[in-house]
Amino acid sequence: MSHNIFSYSFTLLHIDYVKLDDKWNYYNVISPYYRLYYIDEGTGFVSDSSQQLKLEPGCLYLIPSFTTCNLNCDHYLSQYFVQFFEDSADGISLFGNNRRILKCTASQIDILLIKKMLKSNPGRGINRSDNPKIYEREAYYKEYRSLNNVIKPHVQFENQGIILQLISRFLSAGFKVSPQRIIPSKIADTMSYIQLNIHQNITILELAARVNQNQDYFSKQFLIHTGMRPLRYIHEKKIERAQYLIATTNKTFLEITIDTGFSNLAHFSKIFKQIVSLTPGEYRKQIFNIN
């Protein structure tokens, strides 16, 4: 692994200890953040499109962001859970090639770290409902993420370190890391600019002019260092944002079209279908089809 693996960072959203029963049954759940569970009592099940895993005491489970999953408990289940967002310098997710549920045996250190983070971050539970349809809203994300701005610096460092330590437990020999590249400053600056201006109608000519390069030369360099053409990268970031808005708000598709800088709803729908393989309507139905 390259040292660039440490360009990834993670910020806490929620942490809590909960006791669940047969009401904890939700299907087609998809979230823009990671879920990590440590089970200490009882049993349950979690599944994605390719597998079903039994939630067992003494085990850790990691569900990467944007991984569709089902959550089930027949009788009783108690768990520690940590939910966190991912930030990376190039916008490529650490688990971009591993959108599936992962499981490993928890060590005593893992358990101590989770309990320590829970003690250091009081009041960071969901405190509304265990139904994702209720608590997964952008306003709630902002509310809880804003708490990271007021906690003491040593706690911020501690949270980051614990999350990295827990994630490391899932980086086994068979784990496929998204390719790490040394990206020239002009390309990295362009990628950052796209992220910050995702609501705008961004053109390749505009991006090339920002870094004082010929449009064709800029496009070739962007492809070499990112693995995709600038327009494809722009579209993927816009649709990633659209997925987030569909999952967390009640905005209309026209409003989301405007928020993601597409010229019209038809174009937005076409690009969404190309990248997600579902129409925006099918995607929203899949997310909120919770039994």
In the structure, what pLDDT confidence band is assigned to residue 4 with cuts at 50, 70 and 90? low
| pLDDT tens, residue by residue, 138-171 | 667 777 778 888 889 999 999 999 999 999 999 8
CATH number for the domain running over 185-288 = 1.10.10.60
Mean pLDDT of 108-132: 88
Q: Is the pTM of this model over 0.75?
A: no
Q: Give me the chain's average pLDDT, please.
A: 85
Report whether 67 contacts 86 (CB < 8 A).
no
Mean pLDDT of 79-100: 79
Residue ranges per structural domain of the chain: 3-168, 185-288
* pLDDT of res. 290: 44
* pLDDT of res. 1: 44
In the structure, what pLDDT confidence band is assigned to residue 109 with cuts at 50, 70 and 90? very high
Q: Cα-Cα-Cα-Cα dihedral of 189, 190, 192, 194, to 10°? A: 160
* pLDDT of res. 258: 94
Q: How many residues can be counted in the chain? A: 291
Sheet of 59-63: strands edge to edge? 8-21, 76-88, 34-42, 59-63, 102-105
Mean pLDDT of 177-181: 54
Mean pLDDT of 23-43: 89
By DSSP bridging, strand 8-21 and strand 76-88 are: antiparallel
CATH number for the domain running over 3-168 = 2.60.120.10
Distances (CA, A) of 133 to 72, 74, 120, 194: 15, 20, 28, 30
Mean pLDDT of 171-197: 71
